[in-house]
Structure 1
Amino acid sequence: MLCATSAQADEGQWQPYQLPQLKSELKRVGIAIPAEKLADLSKHPMSAIVSLGNCSASFVSDAGLVVTNHHCAYGAIQRNSTPEHNYIANGFLARSRAQELPGGPNALVYVTDKVENVTGRVLRNITPSMSGKQRSEAVERAIKALIAECESDKIYRCAVPAFHRGLEYYRIRQMMIRDVRLVYAPANSLGDFGGDIDNYEWPRHVGDYSFLRAYVGKDGRPADPSPDNVPYHSKDFLVVSAAGLKNGDPVLLAGYPGRTSRYKLPSEIRYARDAAYPAKAAEIQADLDVIAVSTKDSEAAAVRYASVVKSQNNVLKKTRGLMDGFARKDIAAIKDVQDAQFRAWFAKQPNADKKLLAELDALIAADIALSDEEFGYSVATTGDLLKSAATLYRLALESARPDAERETGYQQRDLAFIKARLTRLEQSYVGGVDQARLNAALQRYAALPKSMHVTGLDALLPATDAVPALYAQSQLGDTATRLSWMDKGASAIKASDDAFLKLAVKLDDVAQSLKERRKELDGNLERVIPQYMAAVIAWKKSQGKPVYPDANSTLRVTYGTVSPYSPKDGVTKGPFTTIEGIVEKNTGKEPFNAPANLLEAIKARRYGQFKDPVLGTVPVDFLTSADTTGGNSGSAVMNKHGELVGLNFDSTYESITKDWYFDSDITRAIHMDIRYMLWVMKEVDHADNLLKELTIK
């Protein structure tokens, strides 16, 4: 039921098990790898594809060497950077394994090795008489039990995400490697050439790549970071092809796309377009402005907030791109037509529940209203110390319960992640900056519409003139102090005179009330939406249209071809850029300040073996019609034989609304050509040790 007879265009972020049903499509595109092999996670190339948590990556040697995007490794680069050793500005290359730098507690490599359908077990105890909250909690209990069973061997991290908005559940088992080290990153002026100005734009000329290495204990099992650890022996890895691609060639892309909303209703689209995205963009911009002012006179503060700013700017540009995309093409109107067609089809089905769609519409309206309040709460609680205090108090309360009864995110399995988040602040926190952010956020919250104010919250929030005292009367800015509270009970926190812990105690009841309301609503949505999705799938299948689940950060495969596109009448953009374009764009000032040694190599025309026979020079980036989204950053772009030919890192600005609607005419993913990476490694950074480690064809 969940697999269409044929796909349309290159749309679809497919679960690997679905690929055998797409044989004709893969053949049409030109993929030579058997679909059955692509569906097998234990076989090449899927066994070489890994997740970094928020990005995708792949093994490229049998010694745990991982290639991903520069911006995906940015946290590790920033963590190791100081004004004296600024690896962001100057790049980093370990010429031996002893020189590799620790990626930090948040640098992880996840190797997916098992995916199983557990829908029956998740929904086994669900009854029609349950309230929304009871249903939500029953699903949560079942998922926790499935995870605990899966994680009996502690080398695994397991999850049970929903597919098709709760119609199906799959248990994903991943080996989690905890010792990850930075191996090589080019200078930021190469790895992020064009910066935020070029973000989501085409043409692009960015070398968005970095290398990490996964380490394990001597027994081959994941272990905490230690000098005694050894490189992980990856069973499979991708061969790198220097042969390149040409216009029209097929590609296969595998990675971990984050979130899409292809099956949402017109009312949900209009809420995102008219309310949620404008509010989100305004909030991010306001916070970025505060950070900019607060760090302008301190290089050390600017370095500490570099990763935060980069991440926020990326989200901001995508959000604005979504807004522009909605303005350019009325996706809600397109969905109106589809929705009307579906409802007409549904009304004719003999066993259709005639009350289903009315109930769905009412629940969506309630979801929108609650989302407004949740947004307001997120604004009011901006600030790292306040968030840390809230986490510590909730952890203390949950730790008093049996592990299986704790709130998701606060179980024993989550303690290492909580510790990592609390520790990470020492690389991305400055008291004065955090204070300015919270103070400004409280003012913004006060100005929000009443619909975004949370019941009971306003009276508990500090006045803006009281914010300085919060920081003066708190020790949570000190890492050791912050971590020490992880082992203390709720009574100790309640008795504390730390200003932020006291505030967290005051706010917790409101936060929990918001969560309880969300549970009730989600439980009802999880009852109704799967029925709706089952009907939508049946309707789409009757038309021979693609039926794949929305992206949810699980392993997916997509395909396409190297393709130009026309963003508007009279304008056509070709699928390749070249190193000569770097010289043309270079201004010598950020963000178009290419490294001098790069410019010298380009002007000397030292193309070597990486010269493209058609372009007559070295390619930098290229476009394909592959279906991607956030989380696909770092995804391996493979040729028809499964060899690495590029790294996905972005989409064109016109493509951003593909999270909601796939338009095959203008949807294009942007990839770094692997030949550019190899050329830089050889001619610019002289990373000969890594070139020898790679298998290059």
Structure 2
Amino acid sequence: MYILLKYLVLPVALIGAAAAQADEGQWQPYQLPQLKSELKRIGITIPAEKLSDLSKHPMSAIVSLGGCSASFVSDAGLVVTNHHCAYGAIQRNATPEHNYIVDGYLAKTRAEELPGGPNTLVYVTDKVENVTARVLKNVSDTMSGKQRHDAVEKSIKALVAECESDKIYRCSVPAFHRGLEYYRIRQMMIRDVRLVYAPADMIGNFGGDIDNYEWPRQGGDYSFLRAYVGKDGRPADPSPDNVPYHSKDFLVVSAAGLKNGDPVLLAGYPGRTSRYKLPSEIRAARDSAYPAKVAELQADLDVIAAATKGNPAAAVRYASVDKSMNNVMKKTQGLLDGFARKDIAAIKDVQDAEFRAWYAKQPGMSKTLLGELDAVIAADLALSDEEFGYGVATTSDLLKSASTLYRLAREGAKPDAERESGYQQRDLTFIKARLNRLEQSYVGSVDQARFVAALQRYAKLPKSMHVNGMDALLPAVGAVPALYTKSELGDTAKRLAWLDKDSAAIAASNDAFLQLAVKLDDVTQSLKERRKELDGNLERVIPQYMQTVIAWKKSQGKPVYPDANSTLRVTYGTVSPYSPKDGITKGPFTTIEGIVEKNTGKDPFNAPQKLLDAIKAKRYGQFMDPILGTVPVDFLTSADTTGGNSGSAVMNKNGELIGLNFDSTYESITKDWYFDTAITRAIHMDIRYMLWVMAEVDHADNVLKELTIKYPAKKK
């Protein structure tokens, strides 16, 4: 790696408090002490040093669901998150006769709590450590891309194995700043998680896809789960003998509410942002990748809709798939609309030119780095096209299952440390869970229709998106029905039985989808090997670039925080209105009266009658906001969020739970690439609405009693 000037080689943590601007930044907890003056400025009273300590309140109450965020709200493992984050658990237990998606579910006793299923997990982060030196200790500049990638992966596997010597932990070593730093994250993984309470879909998902990413919103996006462990207090497989997890900390719920301008803290696990990417990467996303993604998602959704029409059982099975895909599609379309509204690539052009001009003036800098950077980014974009095509061509859950089984068998013949990541011994329970989960989200006729249509779409993709060597191996459209009649992988028990078979047995199988997976495996592995070579080159060049970008930004007093990567982050902001266009200002609160105004009696604006009755009767109780004169539903803040922050605890200045993050405004979607302080707003459910529904509509008295609720002092 090139040697930069000594004054440029600075730990990322060394950013002054003055570096923070506005409310931008998804900060690692250890960085918060450097932001203490900024936190104090907006009114946060919790000491920054306390916020940086994962063993102390409130951070010790923040958990991950593996794709969503959540928090403990009692000492008996009670977890609150978004309704859409618990959707898989709700759907798993729903049937046409007992449709908990439509009607909601409330366990009045712990014995009535329903199994969330093998994919519903709670992760409690208890240790984060910088392991950059250990990850990179065997890396040299003379290595090829693949050699470098393999050396890094080998070090990461060793670090993970060391961390997981106690099997209650699930550990990971993600990269930060695109490979400049690596942190080892240790999480206790609780795998017996049960559904406690979820409101009706037309409360939790009021407005559906029409209102998704829109403001004003009236979504009661909340649900409750409970974490269970063995009687020894350690995570255990689901069992009737398990007991509620004793969470050492939990959030107090505040019913005092907020007003315009009040500060908030938000803690959770944001998924992915791309704020340090180059203008060329933005243009590739804007002009090629995102339009192709939107078209593909819409086409697949149309096929699912047609294939499940008139089949209630199939519709229930694909409800979660449909919801997830619709969410991704609307977000992607929002990114495209955002790029059209504001030329972020042009803004990045200016920043990139300023950076390159600054770089050229610094003594001792590499003369070839920026050229190498541009070349490796171009190669990455080209390979990404093929990977997109591969994803289209393999749009079949049975094919994916067959490919997983064959690759697991091939990797299982190797020593565990030499297996491909994702196929080690530690991954077997996750693979089994995925194969099991298919039972709740698969119908043969629907999967067949999706596969046929996808192969037709793949054939029409540009040549750059066709995978090298794959086309001749794919089945003809007319041959697809026979694959399903000659395969037993649609049967869960028979699918799982292949987990114990070796690669020779799978290769000798007469199961049509296993045969197809075997035939495609060499091409699949070739694509993966090319990705490893390219990733190794990216991992060599990008960190050098990021080190100089950090130094440049620091010289300007600008925020220096890593892109989101699904690890624990803290952000802050204030309750704030915004102006999406000239002459329009949107206030920061919505109320229950807005539900009545929007209600049409038809999906997705079909509020439950008992909810409407409570609103019309003005049974506001102690949850009425004194300024609004009614019960608030959702509110806006300037906090910096993205996907994965769903379910994140929104806390007041004292660290008390006052809301749940669940969305962003449509104009904010491009914040994944560029944070625009004027229009970027996160959408949160006001905790008072949740409490009001629980008390006045669903009568979830047992859950309310379990919460520790802090009510506002009554005026004398």
Tell me what 2:246 maps to: 233
Determine if the alignment matches structure 1 residue 557 to structure 2 residue 570.
yes
Cα deviation, residue 29, structure 1: 1.1
Tell me what 1:35 maps to: 48
Tell me what 2:416 maps to: 403
The 5 Å alignment of 1:321-360 reads: 321-360=334-373
The whole-number CA distance in structure 1 between the counterparts of 2:619 and 2:141 is 70
The whole-number CA distance in structure 1 between the counterparts of 2:398 and 2:100 is 27
The 5 Å alignment of 1:207-286 reads: 207-286=220-299
Candidates 665, 681, 684, aligned match of 2:697: 684
The 5 Å alignment of 1:460-609 reads: 460-609=473-622
Cα deviation, residue 128, structure 1: 1.2
Determine if the alignment matches structure 1 residue 362 to structure 2 residue 375.
yes
* 1:560 counterpart SS class: strand
Unaligned runs of 5+ in 1: none
Greater displacement, 3-12 / 660-669: 3-12
Candidates 435, 438, 441, aligned match of 2:451: 438
1:663-689: CA deviation from partner (whole Å, max 9, x where unpaired): 000000000000000000000000000
* 2:296 counterpart SS class: helix
The whole-number CA distance in structure 1 between the counterparts of 2:613 and 2:337 is 39
The whole-number CA distance in structure 1 between the counterparts of 2:558 and 2:499 is 51
One-letter identity of the residue aligned with 2:243: V
The whole-number CA distance in structure 2 between the counterparts of 1:176 and 1:467 is 40
Tell me what 2:59 maps to: 46
Tell me what 2:24 maps to: 11
The 5 Å alignment of 1:96-495 reads: 96-495=109-508
Tell me what 1:63 maps to: 76
1:575-632: CA deviation from partner (whole Å, max 9, x where unpaired): 0000000000000000000000000000000000000000000000000000000000
* 2:125 counterpart SS class: strand
* 1:662 counterpart SS class: coil
Tell me what 2:714 maps to: none
Tell me what 2:108 maps to: 95
* 1:53 counterpart SS class: coil
1:115-138: CA deviation from partner (whole Å, max 9, x where unpaired): 000000000000111000000000
One-letter identity of the residue aligned with 2:185: I
The whole-number CA distance in structure 2 between the counterparts of 1:81 and 1:683 is 25
One-letter identity of the residue aligned with 2:477: T
1:639-668: CA deviation from partner (whole Å, max 9, x where unpaired): 000000000000000000000000000000
Cα deviation, residue 351, structure 1: 1.2
Identity %: 85
The whole-number CA distance in structure 1 between the counterparts of 2:308 and 2:351 is 49
One-letter identity of the residue aligned with 1:252: L
CA-atom RMSD in angstroms: 0.4
* 1:66 counterpart SS class: strand
Tell me what 1:73 maps to: 86
Unaligned runs of 5+ in 2: 1-9, 711-716
Cα deviation, residue 437, structure 1: 0.2
* 2:254 counterpart SS class: coil
* 2:636 counterpart SS class: strand
Cα deviation, residue 37, structure 1: 0.1
One-letter identity of the residue aligned with 2:702: N
The whole-number CA distance in structure 1 between the counterparts of 2:542 and 2:469 is 31
One-letter identity of the residue aligned with 2:580: P
Using the size of structure 1 for normalisation, the TM-score is 1.00
* 1:32 counterpart SS class: coil
The whole-number CA distance in structure 2 between the counterparts of 1:129 and 1:365 is 22
The whole-number CA distance in structure 1 between the counterparts of 2:333 and 2:141 is 42
The whole-number CA distance in structure 2 between the counterparts of 1:123 and 1:200 is 41
1:534-593: CA deviation from partner (whole Å, max 9, x where unpaired): 000000000000000000000000000000000000000000000000000000000000
1:75-119: CA deviation from partner (whole Å, max 9, x where unpaired): 000000001100000000000000000000000000000000000
Tell me what 2:644 maps to: 631
The whole-number CA distance in structure 2 between the counterparts of 1:297 and 1:482 is 28
* 1:126 counterpart SS class: coil
1:292-336: CA deviation from partner (whole Å, max 9, x where unpaired): 000001000000000000000000000000000000000000000
Aligned length in residues: 697
The 5 Å alignment of 1:627-666 reads: 627-666=640-679
The whole-number CA distance in structure 1 between the counterparts of 2:78 and 2:672 is 31
The whole-number CA distance in structure 2 between the counterparts of 1:472 and 1:578 is 53
The whole-number CA distance in structure 1 between the counterparts of 2:644 and 2:147 is 32
Using the size of structure 2 for normalisation, the TM-score is 0.97
